[in-house]
Structure 1
Amino acid sequence: METREKILKAAAEMIADDVTATISVRAVAARAGVSTGSLRFHFPTQRALQDEVLRRIYQHFMPNDPLRDRSLPARDRLVNCLRQMLAPAGVGEDARRAFKAAFAAFIAPDPSEQVHTAYLSYERASAGRITHWLNALDDEGAVPQRDRAKDVRFLLTVLNGLAMERALPYGDSVLQSETDTLYTAVDAILGTAAS
């Protein structure tokens, strides 16, 4: 197996073993059976390695990722990606069931180490998806140079609020209101506005 592929396989296996694991250069090199210098030759930065691993994982599990539809502007693609994250919550009764389940799992119980670890794992996975999308748009030159971690946190907060809003009693325009909110959030990140 080619060295680059061995490195990517090792990093993907580490994520599969523990989704909360941080992909360190030394740990990946050791698992792949290559030197850190060899790893750095193929992936000069830890971000480059993480981005490629996530790109492949998302490409495999989400072959129809809206980010790939280059016929749409970056802001529309990012909004469509964020909608994907809201879709599992459903609307109305489905959203209430999802919110009740999240409440029962993460809010109602005492904040034990197990609850904390489970929630952080979920949050890291969600942050990883958003980071992947922002990095891909950054590669296209569509994202201004900003504090990526703050942008990810902001978008996660917006999504959490919208997911909760879906569970609350609503009028006929909940999805239109949600769309407006998503575009406002994406415009804040991308520095764009409706044309």
Structure 2
Amino acid sequence: MSARRDEIVEAARLVFLEGGASAVTVRSVASRAGIGASTLRHYFPSQRDLHNAVFTAAFDANLHDLRIRDTTVPPRDRLLECLWQFLEAADSTEAALEAWLEGFASMVRQRATPEMRAAWTAFTRQAQVRTVAWLEILDEEGAMLPGTADRHARMLLALIDGLAVAMLVPETRPTRDQLRETLGDAVATVVTG
């Protein structure tokens, strides 16, 4: 990646942190990076390209492969450890959970701005890509149960979304142990041992 491209992605990440997905526009990011919109468009021809780069960078920085390749650890434990990062991030701060809820609610109500829709699409795409990659590592070891990595990833991520929604209701909020247990049950449906 070029230094200029990296600077633009960092500027977009800061704009996102300060104002959410709807704040990540060509104009706001170009201004933050100290460049013109045409220069930004040279590196990111579309809004989608910009959002994809921001979320890819965020995933690379915050979502780790941990011990997914460590064959001394049971496959189910390794996958659970990796997937837990999604729930841990949502549970880490009220602001993180609120940002997730804002995005989710916007998609459900269909009142999302084009920027919010692009950001949500990029986020879900990156979550799918990373989860499939983990499952493919386990498949190479022969630890996957029947089904494709893509299909298993969709199911696991749908469960994680549901658990994140459950975390929003204080009166019925599952404990961390309950969340881990439920996620572990789902992992057991796709991975051996």
Q: What SS does structure 2 have at the residue aligned with 1:190?
A: coil
Residue aligning to 2:156? 155
Conserved 8 A contact 2:80-2:187: yes
Give the TM-score, by structure 1 length.
0.58
Residue 185 of structure 1 aligns with which residue? 186
Q: Which moved more, 1:62-71 or 1:132-141?
A: 62-71
Q: Report how many aligned residue pairs link the two structures.
A: 142
* Structure 1 runs of 4+ with >6 Å offset: none
Give the gaps of 5 or more residues in structure 2. Answer: 1-42
Percent identical pairs in the alignment equals 28
Deviations, residues 103-156 of structure 1 (Å, cap 9, x unaligned): 465345525654433322111100001001001111111113413322111011
| Contact 2:69 2:137 (C-alpha < 8 Å) held by counterparts | no
Aligned counterparts, 1:1-195, within 5 A? 18=49, 65-90=66-91, 93-94=94-95, 96-103=97-104, 105-108=106-109, 110-111=111-112, 113-170=114-171, 174-192=175-193
State the 1:183 CA deviation.
1.0
Give the match for residue 26 of structure 1: none
1:64-99, CA deviations, whole angstroms, 9 ceiling, x for partnerless residues?
623133331000000000001222111684565234
Q: Scaled by the length of structure 2, what TM-score is found?
A: 0.59
Closer/same/farther in 2, CA of residues 95 and 163 from structure 1, 3 Å limit: farther
Change (3 A) 1:121 1:106: same
* Contact 1:99-1:167 within 8 A present in 2 as well: no
Letter in structure 1 aligned against 2:68: L
Q: Which runs of 5+ in 1 are unaligned?
A: 1-15, 22-53
RMSD: 3.4
**Distance in 2, Cα, partners of 1:71 & 1:170:** 40
